[in-house]
Amino acid sequence: MLLRASGKVTGDAFDVHVITEGGTAAPSGVPHGEMLIAFAEAMVGDDEAILATARQRVLIALGSEALVDAAAVVSNFERMVRIADSTGIPLDDVVYEKTVDVREELHLGRFRSAANTPKA
């Protein structure tokens, strides 16, 4: 199981494989993680009914402020990825070197956008 910076601060262990493996990965360890991932996937998907259901689940379970926060996080990541992909922004050498292990472990090179990340 991968332990990342936020987990080191709180003493929790989080498995980030769920990000790329979806339902095939073990639970992430993030409270309400599976529901939040379903919401994020619905936000970037094209099925309004699935999005409405996911939105309602987050609203009921976590409240309106958390729903707004979750939507903002998903939107920000979507925006950053689109900008980086469309402009061809490569990773800095430092970021490239510090993320080798997580990129390999999550097999991020299999995604089409990996072609935009030249070797350091």
- Is residue 79 domain-shared with residue 99, that is, in the same domain? no
Which residues are within 8 A (CB) of 3 and not within 5 positions of it... i.e. 6 or more apart? 13, 14
- Is residue 107 domain-shared with residue 52, that is, in the same domain? no
Whether the pTM exceeds 0.85: the reply is: no
The pLDDT of residue 108 is above 70: yes
- Is residue 9 domain-shared with residue 66, that is, in the same domain? yes
CA atoms within 13 A on the CB side of 34: 5
State which residues form the domain around 70: 5-90
Q: Which of 11-25, 29-43, 56-70, 88-102 has the highest mean pLDDT?
A: 56-70
What are the tokens at 37? 């991932």
- Is residue 63 domain-shared with residue 110, that is, in the same domain? no
- Is residue 86 domain-shared with residue 97, that is, in the same domain? no
Q: CA-CA distance, 60 to 37, in Å (whole number)?
A: 16
- Is residue 108 domain-shared with residue 96, that is, in the same domain? yes
CB 93 within 8 A of CB 120: yes
Share of the chain above pLDDT 90, in %: 34
pLDDT in tens, 41-98: 999 999 999 999 999 999 999 999 999 999 999 999 888 888 877 777 777 888 888 8
